[in-house]
Amino acid sequence: MDKFVVKKIKELKGIKPNASWLESQKSFLLSEISRDEAKKQEGILPLPAFNFAKLLRPAFLTALFLIMALSSVATVGAIGFAQNSLPGDMLYPLKTAFEKTQFTFTSDENKTRLSIKFADKRIDEFTQIVNKPEKREDANKTVEEFTAQLVNAQKEINELKEKNAEKAAEVAKIVQAQTERYKETLTETEARLAYVFPEEKELEQNINNAMEEISKTEEMTQALVGSEEDVEIINITETEETEEASESEEAIVPSEEEKPQSSSIEFEEIQEEPKEK
Amino acid sequence: MTKIEQVDKEKELLSKAISGDKESFGQLYDFYAPRIFRYIRLKVGSQALAEDLTSESFLRMWNFMQKEGTEIEESFKALLYKIAKNLIADYYKRKSSHEVLLDDDFKEFLLQEPAKDEIKSKESAEEIHKALVLIKEDYQNVIIWYYVDELSVSEIAELMDKTEGAVRVLIHRALKSLKKELE
Segment B87-144, tens digit of pLDDT: 998 888 766 554 554 444 444 444 444 333 444 556 677 888 888 988 999 999 999 9
Residue A239, pLDDT score: 52
Which chain B residue shows the shortest CA-CA distance from A14?
B110
Whether this model's ipTM surpasses 0.85 comes out as: no
Q: Which residues lie closer than 8 Å to A149 by C-beta, 6 or more apart?
A: A115, A116, A118, A119, A122
Residue B169, pLDDT score: 96
Rounded-to-integer distance, Cα A104 and Cα A24, Å:
10
Q: Which residues 53-82 of A have a C-beta within 8 angstroms of B?
A: 53-54, 60-61, 64-65, 68, 75-82
Q: Which CATH number is B1-101's, of 3.40.50.970, 1.10.10.10, 3.40.190.10, 1.10.1740.10?
A: 1.10.1740.10
Residue A240, pLDDT score: 52
Q: A19 and chain B: CB distance < 8 Å anywhere?
A: no
Rounded-to-integer distance, Cα B106 and Cα B46, Å:
8
Which chain A residue shows the shortest CA-CA distance from B126?
A12
- Determine which helix (DSSP H) or strand (DSSP E) holds A270, and give its type and residue range: helix A261-276
Q: B125 and chain A: CB distance < 8 Å anywhere?
A: yes
Residue B104, pLDDT score: 44
Q: B135 and chain A: CB distance < 8 Å anywhere?
A: no
Rounded-to-integer distance, Cα A160 and Cα A113, Å:
12
Residue B157 has pLDDT above 90, yes or no: yes
Q: Which residue, among A56, A77, A94, has the nearest Cα to B95 in the 3D structure? A: A77
Chain B closest-CA separation from residue A41 CA (Å): 12
Are B56 and A94 inside 8 Å of each other by CB? yes
Residues of chain A with pLDDT below 50 are: 44-56, 72-79, 195, 245-277
Residues of A with Cβ-Cβ distance to B90 under 8 angstroms: 60-61, 64
Residue B155 has pLDDT above 70, yes or no: yes
State the Rg of chain A over Cα: 26
Chain A closest-CA separation from residue B169 CA (Å): 15
Interface-testing mutation among B16, B40, B66, with chain A (most A C-beta atoms within 10 A): B66
- Determine which helix (DSSP H) or strand (DSSP E) holds A83, and give its type and residue range: none
Residue A277, pLDDT score: 37
Which tops the pLDDT comparison, A192 or B43? B43
Which chain A residue shows the shortest CA-CA distance from B182?
A5
Q: Which residue, among B91, B26, B50, has the nearest Cα to A32 in the 3D structure? A: B26
Residue A63, pLDDT score: 53
Residue A88, pLDDT score: 78
Q: B20 and chain A: CB distance < 8 Å anywhere?
A: yes
Domain boundary assignment for chain A: 23-105, 108-239
Average pLDDT, chain B: 82
